[in-house]
Amino acid sequence: MINSKLGPYEIRAEIGKGGMATVYRAYQPAVDRDVAIKVIHNNGLAEPNAAERFQREAQIIARLEHPHILPVYDFNGTNNPPYIVMRLLDGGTLRDVIDHKALPFDEIGYILRQTASALDYAHSRGIVHRDVKPSNILLDQVGNIFVADFGMAHLVAPLAGQNTLTLDGTALGTPGYMAPEQGLGASTITAQADIYALGVMLFEMLTGELPYYAESSIALMLKHISEPIPSAYNQNPLLPRAVDTVLQQALAKQPENRFVTVTAFAEAVIQALGGAVATIPIHLVHHQTQIDSVATNDMSTLRDTVPVVPDSTMSEQQRQVTVLFLNLIEIEEVLFETRDEEETALAMKALTTAADRIIVQHGGIVYEHTRQTVQAAWGIENAGEDDAERAINAALTIRQSLFETIAPSYWSASDEILPLRIALHTGFVLQQPSSQHGKRTLAGQTLNIVQKIADLAAIGLILVTQSTYRQVIGVFDMFPQPAIRIRGHKELFEVYTVERARPRAFRLSTRGIEGIETKTIGRDAELKTLQESLLLTIEDRETQMITCVGDAGIGKSRLLYEFSKWIDGIEHDVILFQGRAVPQLMKQPYALLRDVLAFRFEILDSDSLSTAREKFETGIAVFMGADSAEKSHFIGHLVGIDFSESPYIKQILRFDCPICNLLCLSYFFHHFNIAGF
């Protein structure tokens, strides 16, 4: 049908194909837009009730007007073949995402919350989807979720003038995600069947595997019906144990034992995963460019081949990246002392897979993975100012998580140090074409240097070179170590151990060369203007606003650094609030205000939701008094800290969003008015 017309639509390309229908990309000249057209196959029309079912799908979707349900634009049931016209989405499906990467917990919460909203809406209209699965969850280019394909939908109350098209004893759905009652062909299917399917999806997102596998569809359905619910924690020990409790209820064999609503299930998952929900789902937005070496259809498979980095061109490219090298050779040697070959291999697989997940959650790309080592890089696809910081945070998390969560299963409790070695180095790498079409590999001295430094590191330590150190001065507690000589290099490599991340309010931003403080040159006049403006503000109690504009690299950040240093030395009491806008947060509302308050209240990126809330409430109370809980919740809600369970927030959410924002903003500015007096 390519290059042909279907009614007023010009068929351009095939998007996907199923057993009953094919979906095409098409152009609608009348309104100058691309659309998706679902066309039923001719052989599908021969099946009993196929045309009626197709027409019913169009009618079902047409009556579901919801921001997270894929909308229908047009339907023609009399055409040969019949077709449905829908919105075209270019972001792919959730299946595309989870086949290629592990998702961070906050983005899993984002997916579940939007999906739950759509399904609960459909259930409130008497419609059960019955085929919830990753390939039926579509994404737009900014990561919004859309539930699609209501072709299997069950109407609790049939449409006017229609009878149900499903016979008793008929099992409809996808076996890997079907609830037990669907497999048994129950005559009444409730919303709890969709909750079960979403529970299977969650299990897959958290572990990389489905809860049950079998060689045939019938055998698979029997496992869903009769076998015990497996533990997600046992398959991925980095998960909170509370996740299993939620999954036990969502995947209960009897529908009445599951959650009452999909939203109740989603919120229980979010709390079990720490309470965070992404505002900007970075991994969903950029999933097409992420490496596919960390997560395959089975994310736990031990990979002994070298993964490659995707790229849109096949020319060589040089990029500055921060590289992490994890060496687990000594761990394997110790495991061999008490375990056989098979047990040791399984243990090493668990350790390296856990490291992979942490790297991906911190925005890195694993470019090489063996049984004993993991190598990853930040800045391969999209370089960021915080690449080195994210890489070190990943290293700290790996060291802590492997020791506290996974290692106890294989390690003696008396061992105080886990014998791993981690090194990080920032430098240039060359992306080179691979033998695989459209793929690239990494090469260069940076990769050799980081590996040799890891080999020379003392066990249990995280070593960073000077090139990485100077990008994160003041962000971490770091201590110099004896310089390292590497064969083939004349110069010695200055290295530092990383102990921990500093609270944000205590981070220094040393300006200079190679981490050495240098004098500011050529900005005395601008610095004097800032100093005089602050003194005038103190004297007259009037607001002063100064905008500093200039091209990158001319010294704006250095100017502000010198101004902050000067503030520390004056006799007046000054309360400093400062924040930084970064490209990753450009689309997040009030992100700069959030950063300003997080800096002042010492809220760490690694803080749990409960800790962040406590710090936030305490920080607001310093200025607004002990009875300021309500105001702190409003301000927190404005800047993106989850206070959704607060009775104050629940009350205002009943009103229009502009009214809520105005109220929250009024409290925010009132807070600064108090701080200023």
What does the longest C-alpha to C-alpha distance in the chain come to?
Answer: 88
User: Closest Cα partner for 240 from 114, 404, 437, 102?
Assistant: 404
354's CB contacts (< 8 A; 6+ apart) are: 236, 237, 238, 398, 401, 402, 405, 406
Our answer to whether residue 131 is catalytic in this structure is yes
**Separation of alpha carbons 329 and 459, rounded Å:** 11
Mark residue 377 as left, alpha or beta (left: phi above 0; alpha: psi -120 to 50; beta: remaining): beta
**Separation of alpha carbons 80 and 245, rounded Å:** 50
**What tokens were used for 244?**
């299993």
**What tokens were used for 578?**
């400062």
User: Closest Cα partner for 429 from 322, 337, 326?
Assistant: 322
**Separation of alpha carbons 134 and 174, rounded Å:** 11
**Separation of alpha carbons 515 and 21, rounded Å:** 62
DSSP conformation class of 156: S
Which of the residues 106, 120, 131, 311 is marked catalytic?
A: 131
Angle between helices 629-639 and 609-624 (to 10 degrees): 120
- Tokens 């017309």 belong to 5
**What tokens were used for 175?**
């076996």
77's CB contacts (< 8 A; 6+ apart) are: 51, 54, 55, 58
3-class secondary-structure state, position 40? strand
Sign for the pseudo-dihedral over CA of 107, 112, 115, 117: negative
Bridge partners of 439, per DSSP, are 310
Catalytic residues: 131
